[in-house]
A and B are shown apart, each in its own frame.
Chain A
Amino acid sequence: DTEVTQTPKHLVMGMTNKKSLKCEQHMGHRAMYWYKQKAKKPPELMFVYSYEKLSINESVPSRFSPECPNSSLLNLHLHALQPEDSALYLCASSQERPSGRIEEQFFGPGTRLTVL
């Protein structure tokens, strides 16, 4: 299995809703990532988990809350989002060496999020 899966593919939510995005990989990768991508822009890193511990938080607002329940799963909990948070949310995973070096990242298909 050499793919990263994400659910749901599309999500529409109101500003008062609570929802979660899910990401799964079975490649044995120990680094997992959340990116946000707006139209015609490159992916922007949000969070990195390394060996199920939060390694990098790129000053993301607290209305986004990541969780890594185990080495194969990564969640992104959403609460009280704003319309400007509408974007494609990409999950990625990669092999990580003890030194922190990463191998190439494999991306999931993304969740297209619309906040009304």
Chain B
Amino acid sequence: EDKVVQSPLSLVVHEGDTVTLNCSYEVTNFRSLLWYKQEKKAPTFLFMLTSSGIEKKSGRLSSILDKKELFSILNITATQTGDSAIYLCAVEAEYGGATNKLIFGTGTLLAVQP
């Protein structure tokens, strides 16, 4: 059975800290890995990773994929209280010739304290 596992489940840090969130997966017919940030409502897209070893960066956030070891990390540097959210990792999997689908991990709840 396909699965996506995130760690830690929750994390409390202080403003200015750097955090690393982990996502490991066992998915048949892997196509890509995506990171989302979810605050009170809908998840918002952060990154889509398809190739190993190529870092994607957006401001203080960066992410990288290792397709050999089947994991990805999301780094946030100089954290701010606005970074407090649930961070979701999702893997795109091919689904028998039909539209591919996303398999979500359990999420990491990040709380950044002032």
The chain A residues found within 8 Å of chain B, CB to CB, are 4, 31, 40-45, 48, 50, 55-56, 88, 90, 96, 100-110
Contact = CB atoms under 8 A, between A and B. Distances in A.
Given A31-B99, A50-B98, A100-B94, A110 B105 contact: no
Interface in B56-114: 88, 90, 92, 94-95, 97-107, 109
A90 B41 CA distance: 9
Interface residues of B, number: 26
Contact of A42 (B31, B41, B88, B100): B88
Given A56-B99, A104-B48, 6 more contacts: A43-B43, A43-B88, A48-B99, A96-B99, A105-B45, A107-B36
Given A108-B42, A109-B42, A41 B106 contact: yes
B95 A107 contact: no
Contact of B101 (A56, A90, A103, A107): A56
Query: Is the contact region of chain B dominated by helix, strand, or loop, or is it mixed?
Result: strand
Contact of A100 (B34, B100, B104): B100
A102 B92 contact: yes
B104 A42 contact: yes
B98 A43 contact: no
B8 to A, nearest CB: 14
A4 B97 CA distance: 26
B39 to A, nearest CB: 11
B26 to A, nearest CB: 16
Contact of B98 (A42, A56, A109): A56
Given A100-B94, A101-B31, A104-B48, A45 B102 contact: yes
A101 B105 CA distance: 20
A56 B45 contact: no
7 contacts: A45-B103, A48-B101, A55-B99, A100-B94, A100-B99, A105-B34, A106-B45
B104 to A, nearest CB: 4
The 7 closest A-B pairs by CB, nearest first: A42-B104, A107-B42, A50-B99, A55-B99, A55-B98, A109-B41, A104-B45
